């Protein structure tokens, strides 16, 4: 039986207590248990000198293998090329993208280091699945080290339009390295189309049948494969005692007012400033509603070493302060702005207590919060999801109230629509959304990708053997 080697920038070891973990961690744990595999990546720790020493851990049937990185690697590869160059560019923020040769060199160096380190762990019939924009050239580095295994790559962020990507120095060289993989996955047809447009029109690649794309002597299969959440786990989390307690705490403190909730990593792609301005527009347009609602925005800081993240944090503090200063009363504050992370059952209780879920990124590969919000709702009395048209999730979640997040007026109207929505209509929309969140969950996503990577017949045989 072949093993699955998952390679990603960060690795989160499963905790024996089943503690707070993101959707991806759960997906890979399930995948690795089924296939008997290894999850390899950066530990998140720094070291004085890179040694390539691997720290193996075995927990809950999953083996993780992590390495520490040097300060310069972290600066150039992670804070640099990944988060100052590729992330803004792939989220259409060319104004924030920094193009420095040192970043590109560091990115390449770390990918070579990862390849050197992981190569000896790979055996003949292992299947390799590389994750995300931090690791684009890794497949090619492994091929150059004699690795002939089946290899897949999944991009968790959008693929940018051709003209935008062309502004990246050596873009075509970077994209060409993707042809070292056998399968490339994107969340949506939109990102897949943009990829095809780039490789065909900028690089002379040729489209074949069944998702095949040929460049020189390499052929890859490129697919759209939208990620989901671990719906069963999240529904259970929403029914847990912790979630119920959280729900009661919020309802008590709400004093009969409707809660509108936003939960996002503090990132400029998530549209938080625009969201605050749209909510302010709602307060202006609907003065009668002012003390009937409040917005709880949860935004744990991320990537604090990058200047644009420090900037957005300062902007949001000032904007929430200004709005609260302008509209608050002695017994009401319009925005509760919280900069901390919460365990998943707490988050589930918060979502469930919210009459409206406000998920309005300016650009997002998928967006799991939209799906978590739906999964956490009370089936008898669900809330309403307001979702940006520019989140990958919008393509699967058309029963949400879809908005253009750049328009304060549209956001204001959407909030008014959501708050006034009759129960029958809320139930109708939620049922359809929940059906898709249940059907296309994270295990469905993992299976869909690995079926293409391994070949469906073989995947079924593997799965039967594992049971
Ligand atoms: P992210 O940009 O991080 O992911 P998202 O998909 O919304 O965005 O996932 C965020 C996760 O963090 C969710 O599971 C959410 O519950 C959790 N989270 C957010 N705030 C939290 C808080 N305060 N406390 C605890 N947990 C919190 C990237 C891409 C997305 C893509 C995913 C998966 O940018 O587009 O959907 O990867 O592919």
Closest approach atom of ligand 1 to CA 343: 25
Q: How confident is the model at residue 18 (pLDDT cuts 50, 70, 90)?
A: very low
Estimate the crossing angle of helix 307-327 against helix 272-285, to 10 degrees: 10
Distances (CA, A) of 1 to 4, 34, 128, 457, 464: 10, 10, 14, 13, 11
> Mind listing the pLDDT tens digit for each residue in 143-169?
999 999 999 999 999 999 999 999 999
User: Measured between alpha carbons, how far is 74 from 110 in angstroms, rounded to an integer?
Assistant: 9
Question: What is the Cα–Cα distance from 85 to 108, expressed in whole angstroms?
Answer: 13
> Per-residue pLDDT tens for 2-15?
899 999 998 876 65
Whether 365 lines ligand 1, by a CB cut-off of 6 Å, is yes
Q: Which atom of ligand 1 is nearest to the CA of 392?
A: 35
Annotated active-site positions, please?
A: 156, 364
Between 241 and 302, name the one with better pLDDT. Answer: 241
Predicted confidence band of residue 467 (pLDDT cuts 50, 70, 90):
low
Say which residue the tokens 């390499």 belong to. 218
Please provide the average confidence, as pLDDT, over all residues in the chain: 94
The pLDDT value recorded for residue 462 is: 65
- Dihedral over Cα of 96, 158, 20, 349: its sign: positive
Map out the domains of the chain with their CATH numbers.
Answer: 4-228+442-461 (3.40.50.2000), 231-439 (3.40.50.2000)
Distance from C-alpha of 184 to C-alpha of 223, rounded to nearest angstrom: 6
How confident is residue 465, by pLDDT bands cut at 50, 70 and 90?
low
Residue predicted with more confidence, 59 or 460: 59
Residue 24: predicted pLDDT: 72
Banded model confidence at residue 314, pLDDT cuts 50, 70, 90: very high
CA of 352 to the centre of ligand 1 (A): 18
Residue 459: pLDDT band with limits 50, 70, 90: low
Cβ neighbors of 436 (< 8 A, separation 6 or more) are: 396, 397
List CB contacts of 185: < 8 A, sequence separation 6 or more. Answer: 152, 153, 154, 155, 222, 223, 224, 225, 449, 452
Q: Looking at the predicted structure, is the pLDDT value of residue 113 above 90?
A: yes
CB of 368 shorter than 6 A to ligand 1: yes
| Residue-wise DSSP of 370-425 | HHHHHHTS-TTS--EEEEETTBGGGGT-TTSEEE-TT-HHHHHHHHHHHHH--HHH
Span from the CA of 333 to the centroid of ligand 1 (angstroms): 27
Pocket lining: 265 vs ligand 1, CB cutoff 6 Å: yes
Q: Is the pLDDT of residue 343 over 70?
A: yes
393 closest CA partner among 200, 228, 220, 234: 228
Query: Cα of 369 to ligand 1 centre, how many Å?
Result: 6
What average pLDDT does this structure show over 25-35?
A: 77
From 369, 437, 444, the mutation candidate for ligand 1 (largest count of ligand atoms within 8 A of CB) is 369
Residue 288: exposure state from Cβ atoms within 10 A (0-12, 13-18, ≥19): exposed
Q: Which atom of ligand 1 is least distant from the CA of 369? A: 7
> For residues 455 and 124, which has the higher predicted lDDT (pLDDT)?
124
Nearest Cα residue to 91 out of 363, 369, 308, 274: 363
Distance 367 CA to ligand 1 centre (A): 6
Distance in angstroms (rounded) separating the CA atoms of residues 370 and 193: 23
């Amino acid at each position: 039986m072949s093993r699955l080697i998952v390679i990603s920038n960060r690795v989160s070891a499963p905790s024996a207590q089943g503690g707070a973990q993101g959707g991806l961690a759960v997906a890979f744990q399930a995948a690795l248990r089924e296939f008997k595999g290894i999850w390899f990546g950066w530990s998140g720790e720094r070291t004085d000198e890179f040694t390539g020493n691997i720290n193996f851990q075995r927990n809950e049937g999953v083996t993780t293998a992590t390495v520490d990185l040097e300060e310069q690697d972290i600066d150039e590869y992670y804070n640099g090329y990944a988060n100052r160059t590729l992330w803004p560019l792939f989220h259409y923020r060319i104004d924030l993208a920094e193009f420095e040769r040192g970043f590109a060199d560091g990115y390449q160096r770390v990918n070579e280091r990862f390849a050197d380190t992981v190569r000896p762990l790979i055996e003949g019939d292992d299947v390799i699945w590389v994750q995300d924009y931090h690791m684009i050239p890794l497949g090619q580095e492994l091929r150059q080290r004699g690795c002939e295994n089946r290899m897949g790559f999944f991009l968790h962020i959008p693929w940018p339009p051709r003209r935008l990507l062309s502004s990246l120095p050596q873009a075509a060289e970077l994209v060409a390295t993707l042809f070292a993989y056998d399968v490339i996955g994107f969340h949506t047809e939109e990102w897949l189309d943009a990829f095809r447009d780039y490789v065909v029109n900028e690089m002379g690649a040729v489209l074949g049948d069944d998702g095949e794309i040929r460049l020189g002597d390499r052929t890859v299969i490129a697919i759209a494969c939208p990620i989901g959440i671990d719906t069963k786990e999240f529904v259970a989390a929403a029914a847990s005692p912790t979630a119920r307690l959280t729900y009661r705490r919020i309802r008590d403190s709400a004093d009969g007012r409707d809660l509108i909730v936003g939960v996002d990593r503090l990132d400029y792609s998530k549209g938080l400033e625009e969201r605050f301005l749209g909510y302010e527009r709602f307060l202006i347009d609907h003065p009668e509603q002012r003390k009937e609602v409040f917005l709880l925005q949860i935004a744990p800081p991320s990537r604090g070493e990058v200047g644009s993240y420090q900037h957005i944090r300062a902007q949001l503090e000032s904007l929430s302060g200004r709005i609260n200063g302008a509209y608050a009363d002695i017994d009401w504050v319009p925005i509760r702005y919280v900069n901390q992370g919460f365990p998943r059952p707490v988050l589930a209780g918060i979502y469930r207590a919210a009459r409206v879920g406000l998920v309005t990124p300016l650009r997002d590969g998928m967006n799991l919060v939209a799906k978590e919000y739906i999964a956490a709702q009370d089936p008898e009395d669900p809330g309403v999801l307001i979702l940006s048209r520019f989140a990958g999730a919008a393509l699967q979640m058309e029963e949400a109230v879809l908005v253009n997040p750049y328009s304060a007026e549209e956001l204001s109207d959407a909030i008014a629509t959501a708050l006034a929505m009759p129960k029958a209509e809320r139930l109708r929309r939620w049922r359809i959304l929940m059906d898709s969140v249940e059907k296309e969950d994270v295990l469905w996503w993992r299976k869909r990708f690995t079926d293409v990577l391994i070949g469906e017949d073989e995947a079924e045989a593997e799965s039967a053997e594992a049971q």
